[in-house]
Amino acid sequence: MRKFRHLLVVITLILFSVEGLNPTAGQSPNLHCVITVEPLQPGQVSSTTSNRTCFNTVAESVAFATNNRIQLPATASASDVSQALRGQVGNRSTLADIVIGIHWDWTNRQNASIVWRSSVGCGPATFTVNDMTPNGWNDRAESAEGFSGCNHFFQYEHINLGGAVRDCNAYCSDLGVLNNQVSSWRATS
């Protein structure tokens, strides 16, 4: 009986430690989220953002983000998504259906993502999110990609554009020392 209890304790510890290694443990199974972000207005220090809407696949999140202008198979890879988004028109829309950036949970466009969409690209606008905590993405991103004229997708270590900074230009497959450290971002042309 004593050996059985000991074995049960060991198995329980192993299960909890394996779950602790899973970066999505305790998170919603909807891994791909979309947030609408408004262009930075004169006098504002941070863009206005909406609540996030989440989906099971990145293809679903991109379809939602673009109001179904871009529809990909559910099995589409992150590279397929990137290629499709590179072809989108990013000047002006009457809807918030232009993807301006994506943050990925892991390097090389892998795992969960957060898609940032707006009604205008970076040509005429600048976007700033000073705190990613309310969106559930503080200190989480490991890769980032800008779209729609957002040729400078700056990633910051701290909130309010503080600390170390990395300009991803159009794409950072790996945020390097900022992996799991990004707390705010800014996108410009």
Give domain status of residue 15, yes or no. no
pLDDT at 61: 95
Summarize pLDDT for 25-74 with one digit per residue, the tens: 444 455 999 999 999 999 999 999 998 999 999 999 999 999 999 999 99
User: Would residue 31 be called left, alpha or beta, if left means φ above 0 and alpha means ψ between -120 and 50 degrees?
Assistant: alpha
Q: Is the predicted pLDDT of residue 150 greater than 80, yes or no? A: yes
- CATH number, domain containing residue 135: 2.60.20.10
pTM of the model: 0.80
The pLDDT value given to residue 20: 37
Are 146 and 171 in contact by the 8 Å Cβ rule? The answer is: yes
pLDDT (tens digit per residue) in 13-29: 433 333 333 333 444 45
State the total domains in the chain: 1
pLDDT grade, residue 139 (50/70/90)? very high
In a domain, 73, yes or no: yes
Check if the beta carbon of residue 58 is closer than 8 Å to that of residue 76: yes
Which pair of structure tokens corresponds to residue 174?
Answer: 């790996």
Report if residue 41 sits inside a domain. yes
Q: Containing domain of residue 128, as a range?
A: 28-188
Residue given tokens 């230009």 in the structure block: 169
Is position 22 within any domain? no
Q: CA distances (Å), 116 to each of 40, 99, 101, 185, 186, in order?
A: 14, 6, 5, 11, 12
pLDDT digits (tens, 9 = 90+) for 70-127: 999 999 988 888 888 887 654 444 567 899 999 999 999 989 999 999 999 998 899 9
Cα separation, 109 vs 126, in Å, equals 23
